[in-house]
Copies of this chain bind each other. A is one copy, B any other.
Amino acid sequence: MVTVLPLDAPRRAAELQGAAFVERAPFDAEIGMAVAASDQELRAAFASLVRRAQAEAEVPASIDPDATAWAVLAFMQGMASQLTYDPVAEEAVRDQCRLIVDALLHGSQAGEHDEPASP
């Protein structure tokens, strides 16, 4: 997740290139459909990771894979955009991504629900 965020020059260039398409997307139906299809591919990939983790009992069955994938993609897109004009140290970004993923997948910001509440 962190590895694709614009935290150095090459990834910043890639993010700005992608953002140029997103900027046109609301005004050009073909670009809009292409970007929406790319989003959908990413959401499907994330959702399939969630389903695999559920099959392996790493993630509770109560988690909604599609809603989680949507949340992760929206969060990453917002974070990537912010980082292009408001840089943040990689470690802080990493902590922030961990917090989001923990909250979404394990129902906890700090992992406090990872272990059963009553042994």
Complex alpha-carbon distance, A47 and B36, angstroms: 31
- Chain B neighbourhood of A44, CB < 8 A: none
Tell me, rounded to whole Å, the shortest Cβ–Cβ distance linking A84 to chain B: 4
Dominant SS at the A interface?
Answer: helix
Chain B residues with CB under 8 A of A77: 77-78, 81-82
Given A12-B26, A74-B78, A113-B113, 19 more A-B residue pairs with CB atoms under 8 Å apart are A16-B26, A32-B85, A35-B85, A39-B82, A39-B86, A63-B109, A71-B75, A71-B99, A71-B103, A74-B75, A74-B76, A76-B78, A77-B82, A78-B79, A103-B103, A103-B104, A107-B108, A107-B109, A107-B112
